[in-house]
Amino acid sequence: MNATTTAHLDDTDVEAFAAELDRIREEIIAERGESDARYIRRVIAVQRTLEAAGRAALLVSLFPPAWAAGTAMLATAKILDNMEIGHNVLHGQWDWMRDPKIHSTTWEWDALTPAAWKHTHNDLHHRWTNVLGRDRDVGYTVLRMSQDQPWRPDHLVQPLYNAALAPLFEWGIAIFDLEFEAAVQGRKTWRTLFGELRALASKAGRQIGKDYLLFPLLAGPSALTCLLGNLTAATTRNIWSHAIIFCGHFPDGTQTFREEEIEGETRGRWYLRQLLGSANIEGGPLFHVLSGNLGHQIEHHLYPDLPSNRYAQIAPRVRELCDKYRLPYTTGPLGKQYRQAWKRVLRLALPDQETIARAFYPGAPGGLGRRRP
């Protein structure tokens, strides 16, 4: 943690900050009710209507207006399904409704296996946000996204990795969630990995069969244009998800942390880490719905299990607390945040001075005789 950011806070200040955040949480829990339930049911209804209408239009997509309308509706439906509905339902934000059809244990989304994602995202990422060595989402094991990550020669091509990851984001995350390295390191059995691979292959087969076989075949003469529309909709969803997630975690102002910095971490220090490791994205109501309300990434990391429709209500209060305790509140428009995230990808693709010193001046400070642990 950047000591200059929080040096003015003593333990009493940190716990007072945490108590005020806890109070916001308690108030929202006490208030949530039928209006919140109506919200998520309405979003689900809109999503399903858009998907049905989009697929129907693509059945006659030889006509260009039908293709454009069908692709746009299906892409929007896929974005809503993944972002505002699936992501948030799988966080347990709506479990309090006790509706078995809208519950984190039963929800199925238009993406690959939710069980592995819930482990790497809910259990690891949100618990260990931006802690190097604990949070695998920092670079997704292939990108160098912090100066404290050792540089490797393959990082030189990480801008290409990232560009390829965006349109294939769903598939990249699915492979990432398998945690191959855990099997290699003996932290999980190969039998478990193969079981997860079978589950992934089964879900992938259903998704591919639905989008790229069944519906194109039903389209008859419009088969090729229907397939292209489905592919465009899925790619649009992937690029959008990638952009929102990178803008929420990697623009200027977000921090990463070393494992030694979180030893004995209190609830208050956990709150600080969530705040300092996240960034908001500015936009209107429609943008926030399409982003899964992850434009309020800071509030989501502080309160991952509160209903997403409440983040807009919470955000001004969190920002007031940041002003009160003289803490940063990183936010900016989508274009700016995305440029900054890409700037980090490009900058950290190159070796830093210590790495160069180790390579060319072995005896110098930071050289081979002073290799970083």
Domain extent, residue 206, equals 3-347
Q: In the prediction, which pLDDT does 341 show?
A: 97
Mean pLDDT of 177-188: 88
Query: Does residue 373 lie in a domain region?
Result: no
User: Tens of pLDDT along 42-60?
Assistant: 999 999 999 999 999 999 9
Whether residue 367 is predicted with pLDDT greater than 50 in this model: the reply is no
The total domain count for the chain is: 1
Map tokens 């932290």 to a residue. Answer: 187
Q: What integer pLDDT is reported at residue 368 of this predicted model? A: 33
Q: Is residue 112 part of a domain?
A: yes
State residue 369's pLDDT score.
31
pLDDT at 2: 57
Residue 370 lies in a domain: no
Residue 357 pLDDT greater than 80, yes or no: no
Helix (H) or strand (E) holding 282: strand 280-282
pLDDT of residue 11 exceeding 80: yes
- In which band, very low, low, confident or very high, does the pLDDT at 114 lie, cut at 50, 70 and 90? confident
Secondary structure (DSSP) of 206-268: HHHHIIIIIHHHHTGGGHHHHHHHHHHHHHHHHHHHHHHHHHHHSSTT---B-GGGGTT--HH
pTM of the model: 0.91
Q: What is the mean pLDDT of the chain?
A: 92
In a domain? residue 72: yes
Residue that has been written with the tokens 């109501």 in this structure: 285
pLDDT value, residue 246: 97
Separation between Cα atoms, residue 38 and residue 224, nearest integer Å: 39
Residue 338 in domain: yes
pLDDT exceeds 80 at position 361: no
What string of H, E and C letters represents the secondary structure of 95-163? HHHCCCCCCCCCCCCCCCCHHHHHHHHHHHHCCCCCECCCCCCCHHHCCCCCCCCCCCHHHHHHHHHHH
Mean pLDDT, range 198-213, rounded to an integer: 93
The verdict on residue 81 lying in a domain is: yes
Encoding tokens for residue 140?
């997704």
What's the pLDDT score for residue 182?
86
173: in domain:
yes
What whole-number distance in Å separates Cα of residue 340 and Cα of residue 212? 35
Give mean pLDDT, residues 167-183: 91
Burial of 5 (0-12, 13-18, 19+ CB in 10 A): middle
For residue 84, give the 3-state DSSP assignment.
helix
Question: Do residues 318 and 299 lie in contact, with contact meaning Cβ atoms separated by under 8 Å?
Answer: yes
* For residue 187, pLDDT beyond 90: no
User: How far is it, in rounded angstroms, from Cα 163 to Cα 157?
Assistant: 10
295 near 283, Cβ under 8 Å?
Answer: yes
HSE-CB at 34 with a 13 A cutoff on CA atoms is 0
Residue 365 has pLDDT above 70, yes or no: no
**pLDDT average, residue stretch 173-182:** 89
| Residue 352 forms part of a structural domain | no
